[in-house]
Structure 1
Amino acid sequence: MNEIEPMTANTDAQRLDFNTPALQRKRRMRALKDHLARWYVSIGGLAVLGAICLIFFYLAQVVLPMFQGAALESREVQQPAWLAEAGEPLLLAIEEQNEVAMRLGADGQVRFFALKTGDELSSVSLALPADTRITSIGQDTPGSRLLALGLDNGQVLVLEHNYKVSYPDNRRTISPQIDYPFGETPIELDADGNAVEHVAVSRNGKTLLVSGATESMLHALRISTTENLLTGETSVEQARLNLPQVHEPIRKLLIDPRHQWLYAFSGKANADVFDLRRKQLNGRYKLLGGDGQVTNVTALLGGISLLVGDSKGGIGQWFMVRGDDGQAELKNVRSFKLGDSAITQILPEERRKGFLALDDSGSLGIFHSTAHRTLLKQSVAEGSALASLSPRATRLLVESDGQLQRFVIDNPHPEISWSALWSKVWYESYPEADYVWQSTSANNDFEPKLSLAPLAFGTLKAAFYAMLLAAPLAICAAFYTAYFMAPALRRKVKPVIELMEALPTVILGFFAGLFLAPYLENHLPGIFALLLLMPVGILLAAYLWSRLPERIRLLVPDGWEALLLIPVILLVGFGSLGVSGHMENWWFGGDMRLWLSNEMGIPFDQRNALVIGLAMGFAVIPTIYSIAEDAVFSVPKSLTLGSLALGATPWQTLIRVVLLTASPGIFSALMIGMGRAVGETMIVLMATGNTPIMEANIFEGMRTLAANVAVEMPESEVGSTHYRVLFLAAMVLLIFTFVMNTLAELIRQRLRRKYASL
């Protein structure tokens, strides 16, 4: 006992003291650092969420105005004294600058007046023959100032109201005038002198086409002007078109701006369409069912579509569609509804595919044809009225009961609707409804096609083919390097693969567009042989390696076997590409591209989804591999060793233990790689051909949302509909990635809870 006591005393003397002042200070400093780190991470996370919310709200602030309707605000006009003395109004018009308005009366007097005040600026008497009166009036397509006045003596007077702008003393001055481009002498349409009850006019270049209906006859006259380049003299030629006659009273005439079709509306709801080039009847069409009657017909901007108003307040859009048999037919594309009263006037816009409609109760409707959208319904008069829309569709002039009313229209973005963005739309001159993106054109009559469906489809298509290549390779490589590969080799391979992510995508896009795309086009059989034979070659090499004697296999250290695949990969690769030309000659007639197009009916574009799958897959592989490899490598060794100790093979341990434990990290890797593929811009911009089509064909290109924003944003007008739709595309991309990441996080957390017990 005496020997033990000194040892006990010595042990007590050597016991560590964990409450020394130095250790206490260290613990306090560590607690402070943990507290600061927690706050730093929390504030940083909240700042990121705040930035994302600010981006979302900014995009919403730019996008939401597109979905607002139109607004109509009344402006007072001093009633001029001349209005009480003027005759019945036949036509109202407003010039480009919204300063001067024109009124044509039944007495043949044209008065120009200030739009804001109503003060008369000038008055012009038309060159009408003596003792004649105006019986009908016809207008050229929207945007043209050409008029045709049918007279009661069978003649037609063609005139044009123009507005000359000058700047004396640096002040804008508008001088209105009446011109007679085809002479002041009226054109004789009916030799018998019957009144021209309905008239239509159209000018195409130097050719004028005039059509009119008298008591029982349909007339058509083509007038061509030719200028002598040597003498400068202009010669005029007239030619009558002998067309089949209509047996019912004609109510309205319209001429196609290309001088191909003449539309004659007769009876209650019939339309006779004449082919002016063949001088024959194309067909008779019934426009309305039941007891409805056609009350007004007007051509939409461009003259392709007809807007047909009826006695029940409906408006139908019709245009010629070429059927499967090659014969053109008049089709009803879409319909609108203003009210229950008869439509008395339809006013098409001169720069967009929108229009206004008035009924005999004084109600006004603002519509857009392509978007199939009703933007406003409002009463502007107590009864029937005559109205005019300004060229910019921002002013409306209404005359009713001898009173003038002026309205300001706010309708900046009528082209947008849910159906125009995401549904099939039947565009003018298309055989059927389709998804189309075509935002600009050199033609003023252009119908904007702003469907986001082909862009969203292209985004998913590019991501799908990229993930189809990248996901299996990246995940399998992650399993092998983390589970089977020797640690020394892993320390060399993993950084090299991760270094691939630092390669700029613009370089990959440049390489894919200038080298990879033409190379794939010229070596298609070899590329497909490579994709098919490479897995077979690797599996065959592994099988042969397993059949070798054990003494030979033991010469290669465990975990270094992957190096033996290098010559196999090179051999299969060079062999497949080397025999590409021979396979093309043997099986595809020397040109696989033509064989696909002609024999299989599969279109082929040089920049296609196959190029994107290879190039963007190469860019996505490092992202998926790095995260998945870390997840697999982080599986505790005790789990794998315990599984092996219980008799499981390495593959059974990998599938049933390692894979399940690492599944949250692997799933996160796939979702992050998917997000990278969806948001990729430069590769798809340079290697897809940027064709916004909805085709799953791997040999055709696409256009993605990100690439579309990059291509068209520099050319869009700030604040325009096109500009805001591009922001909407960015917003759709943000929402898509946000939803994908949210779902990925939810699934990852669920997988973590499910396999946390392993």
Structure 2
Amino acid sequence: MSIEQSNTVPELDFNTPAQRRLRQARMLKDKLAASSIAIGGISVILAVVMIFFYLLYEVAPMFRSADIEPWGGQEEVTYPVPGSGSTLYLAVEEQAEIGFRVTDTGEMIFFDTVTGQVRKTEQLALPEDVSVTTFSLLSEASQTFAFGLSDGTIKVIKHNYKATYPNGQRVLIPELVYPLGEAPLQVANGPIQKLAINRDSDEWALIALSAGQLTELTLSLTENFLTGEVEIEESRRDLPAFNQAPNKLLMTPDHRWLLASLPLGRVAVMTLGNQPEVSELIEATKGEITSFELLLGGNSLIIGDSKGRLSQWFFVRDEDNEYHLTHIRDFEHTPDAITNLTTEQRRKGILTLTENGTLNIFNSTANRNVLREPLFDRQADAMALAPRADALLVQHGSQLSFWHVDNEHPEISWSAYWEKVWYEGYEEPEFIWQSSASNNDFEPKYSLMPLAFGTLKAAFYAMLLATPLAICGAIYTAYFMVPSMRRKVKPFIELMEALPTVILGFLAGLWLAPFMEANLAGIFVCLLVIPIAIVLFGFTWNNMPNKIRFMIPEGWDAALLVPVVILATWLGLGLAVPVEDALFGGHMPTWLSNEVGIPYDQRNAMVVGIAMGFAVIPTIFSITEDAIFAVPKHLSYGSLALGATTWQTLTRVVLPTASPGIFSALMIGMGRAVGETMIVLMATGNTPIMDINIFEGMRTLAANIAVEMPESEVGSTHYRTLFLAAFVLFLFTFFVNTLAEFIRQHLRKKYGSL
């Protein structure tokens, strides 16, 4: 071979058809990869934005104000008042199809609410020379009322509606029922001036004022199981008189108190018991009381006066275990006199009409004026609200008008969600979440504060455990551990993240919580013994002869801590019994409750902290370890070459450089802890309380949504409030992540020059 031939370099042709096809394929793959990544990123952003707007879509209806318009959207639905005489009582049945009117002549009329056509009329059977002298309503929801007559007798009546379906069409048939029989009940010897009626199961109580004397008649109904006959047992007694003639009498459903409105804006309270007595005389208002009604459930008294003041009162127990009628709140009412007042039958709602015809709708729990609408130019004679609170019947002189009310969610307000509310039966304002109960008179409590507090509490205790363990473990693994050992330890810890949280919650609730209760003192002894054992072992190992130390491969000496920790834990649990006997009377949880006054709940925040911390550790560890390991080696080598120690290099070079990644790890771990559901759901008492005590449970926003969403009625206030809780959780996560990104960018800019 010649020299020329040996020095010849073969030419490469990059423009062959094969090379061109290869470049085109690569370009196509690059474009597909870039497009896929872009589409994926945009899809994630769109999904998050859609979640945001969907939550907002479900929450927004709660904040719409109420509205009222003529029924059916017509210009006006008015018709003459059916029957004669003055109206004592107006009512509307549930379907808002039939109205009911009671007059002072004893006439009871059922009529169509839209047209005014009379469907049925009944006249109260009265002897000659006997007339109606007073009227009393048991409650709007009960549909039961009583006539007081001039001969000292009482008749109790209930208006009822039966649904029939002839030819597949629903037809309502109104009827009158006499719960205590059609025969009048003799209570007094003279005309009955004022009357109060009450029913508790099969026990009836009637209190009548006649000639200045209060008389109580108690009736017990017993059904004979053999014959089906109802036997009535009567008992009566005289009650002490008020110092003035009352304008109206009301009896609480539990038959504990008789309330009387008196002239000059005063309210008298009579305690009904073995020895009845007038226990309180209160100046409730500076004007004359014009409206005096019990709210749904009969626990709250609503007072309206001639100066437009509307207030709520109920009985509160003091330090001496005595109950007093207490002023709870005033509503923002107009200064015009309140002439008509009615309450909702299924919610804590109040409707008022003023002397100039302005309609006001309030909710007592939310302390919210839902609607203020000048409907009329004069005061009304009577009004009635349908049981579903969607229809309003108003009488003006000889005319009735019928209205549709749109008031879906009056129970909510900023104060109901985020401020202390004084609920019925409580001794002071509190934060309470209690969305349902077993009775229809329940006052919903939608405070989100206990849930938000529980979310932060669970995340705090989880991060308190996970942060030092995860970060310190990551520092040692990335900076001190030999590569061969790191390749085994890091995947093992990251594998922990794949463990389902429902398994962790199951173990925490059924095994860890009882174990901690039985060995609480041992847990705290271990917290002291394990660090001491590690320090002593490190000191001992460092002073051992080199012959023994060199038996362990370099970098693997940390593995010796595993049996040390196990032995220290065994020793700590073994010492728990004598320590508990000597210091805590043999049982630490009982000692905490009885001696220190710290309640102990088996499923508490400490259990959640350990279980959730175990779930969060892999996330924080993995990201922190990658951030520290990714610090360029030339930085640490240069620091060591300049004379810095290993610890100085770690604290002044490696950790500041890795700080953006470490901070991201903490924020991601906190986000995981805040959004955790199953562990909190299964490992706590799931009680929505606000207590920083580590031995008490909690309920988080996420756990509350998981528990109550399947039981909530679609479209209800409860349902939308749960979506609001999800929206709050979403905003909290968004805020934390945004703040974390700003801080991370600041740290990157600050230490990026290293």
> What band does the TM-score fall into relative to the shorter chain?
over 0.9
Choose from 349, 358, 365 the match for 1:363.
358
What's the CA shift for 1:267? 2.2
Choose from 74, 84, 89 the match for 1:86.
84
Matched pairs, number: 748
Q: 1:292-341: CA deviations, max 9, x gaps? A: 22111111111001111111212111100111111101111121133122
Q: 2:728 matched to which residue of 1?
A: 732
- Is 1:711 paired with 2:707? yes
- Is 1:110 paired with 2:108? yes
Choose from 512, 527, 533 the match for 2:508.
512
Q: 1:328 matched to which residue of 2?
A: 323
After the TM superposition, which residues 282-681 of structure 1 pair with which residues of structure 2 at under 5 Å, given as runs? 283-289=279-285, 291-385=286-380, 386-681=382-677
What's the CA shift for 1:170? 2.8
Indicate if the aligned counterparts of 2:81 and 2:399 stay in contact, CA closer than 8 A: no
Q: 1:154 matched to which residue of 2?
A: 152
Q: 1:132 matched to which residue of 2?
A: 130
Q: 1:253 matched to which residue of 2?
A: 249
What's the CA shift for 1:280? 3.0
> SS of 1:101's equivalent?
strand
What's the CA shift for 1:757? 0.8
Alignment gaps of 5+ in structure 1: 1-5
> SS of 1:268's equivalent?
helix
What's the CA shift for 1:237? 3.1
Separation of aligned partners in 2, 1:478 and 1:206: 71
> SS of 1:599's equivalent?
helix
What's the CA shift for 1:57? 0.2
Inter-CA distance 230–24: structure 2 relative to 1 (3 Å threshold): closer
Separation of aligned partners in 1, 2:273 and 2:13: 105
Q: 1:3 matched to which residue of 2?
A: none
Separation of aligned partners in 2, 1:559 and 1:282: 86
Separation of aligned partners in 2, 1:126 and 1:619: 73
Identity, % of aligned positions: 53
Q: 1:697 matched to which residue of 2?
A: 693
What's the CA shift for 1:456? 1.0
Inter-CA distance 86–571: structure 2 relative to 1 (3 Å threshold): same
Indicate if the aligned counterparts of 2:80 and 2:400 stay in contact, CA closer than 8 A: no
After the TM superposition, which residues 189-268 of structure 1 pair with which residues of structure 2 at under 5 Å, given as runs? 189-191=187-189, 193=190, 195-230=191-226, 232-268=228-264
Indicate if the aligned counterparts of 1:241 and 1:279 stay in contact, CA closer than 8 A: no
Inter-CA distance 215–18: structure 2 relative to 1 (3 Å threshold): farther
Separation of aligned partners in 2, 1:513 and 1:316: 47
Inter-CA distance 229–25: structure 2 relative to 1 (3 Å threshold): closer
Indicate if the aligned counterparts of 1:80 and 1:119 stay in contact, CA closer than 8 A: no
- Is 1:686 paired with 2:644? no
Indicate if the aligned counterparts of 1:268 and 1:293 stay in contact, CA closer than 8 A: yes
Separation of aligned partners in 1, 2:170 and 2:375: 31
Q: 1:175 matched to which residue of 2?
A: 173
Separation of aligned partners in 1, 2:110 and 2:686: 51
What's the CA shift for 1:437? 1.1
> SS of 2:161's equivalent?
strand
What's the CA shift for 1:608? 0.8
> SS of 1:96's equivalent?
coil
> SS of 1:459's equivalent?
helix
Separation of aligned partners in 2, 1:55 and 1:64: 14
Separation of aligned partners in 2, 1:32 and 1:735: 40
What's the CA shift for 1:516? 0.9
Q: 1:221-246: CA deviations, max 9, x gaps? A: 22223334455544333333333321
Indicate if the aligned counterparts of 1:142 and 1:302 stay in contact, CA closer than 8 A: no
Separation of aligned partners in 1, 2:20 and 2:753: 37
Aligned letter for 2:346?
Answer: R
- Is 1:51 paired with 2:43? no
Inter-CA distance 28–633: structure 2 relative to 1 (3 Å threshold): farther
Separation of aligned partners in 1, 2:569 and 2:29: 55
Indicate if the aligned counterparts of 1:90 and 1:105 stay in contact, CA closer than 8 A: yes
Inter-CA distance 553–601: structure 2 relative to 1 (3 Å threshold): same
Indicate if the aligned counterparts of 1:217 and 1:245 stay in contact, CA closer than 8 A: yes
What's the CA shift for 1:660? 0.3
Q: 1:482-536: CA deviations, max 9, x gaps? A: 0000000000100000011111111111111111111111111111111232222
Aligned letter for 2:271?
Answer: D
What's the CA shift for 1:670? 0.5
Alignment gaps of 5+ in structure 2: none
What's the CA shift for 1:35? 5.3
Cα root mean square deviation, aligned = 2.4
| TM-score after normalising by structure 1 | 0.94
Separation of aligned partners in 2, 1:222 and 1:646: 98
Indicate if the aligned counterparts of 1:381 and 1:400 stay in contact, CA closer than 8 A: no
| TM-score after normalising by structure 2 | 0.95
> SS of 1:86's equivalent?
coil
With 649-658 and 552-561 compared, the bigger mean Cα shift is at: 552-561
Indicate if the aligned counterparts of 2:363 and 2:410 stay in contact, CA closer than 8 A: yes
Aligned letter for 2:301?
Answer: L
Aligned letter for 1:345?
Answer: N
> SS of 2:442's equivalent?
coil
Separation of aligned partners in 2, 1:629 and 1:350: 62
Inter-CA distance 504–169: structure 2 relative to 1 (3 Å threshold): same
Indicate if the aligned counterparts of 1:285 and 1:330 stay in contact, CA closer than 8 A: no
Aligned letter for 1:556?
Answer: I
With 12-21 and 698-707 compared, the bigger mean Cα shift is at: 12-21
Q: 1:25-57: CA deviations, max 9, x gaps? A: 878876665555444333322221111000110
What's the CA shift for 1:680? 0.8
> SS of 1:398's equivalent?
strand
Q: 1:746 matched to which residue of 2?
A: 742
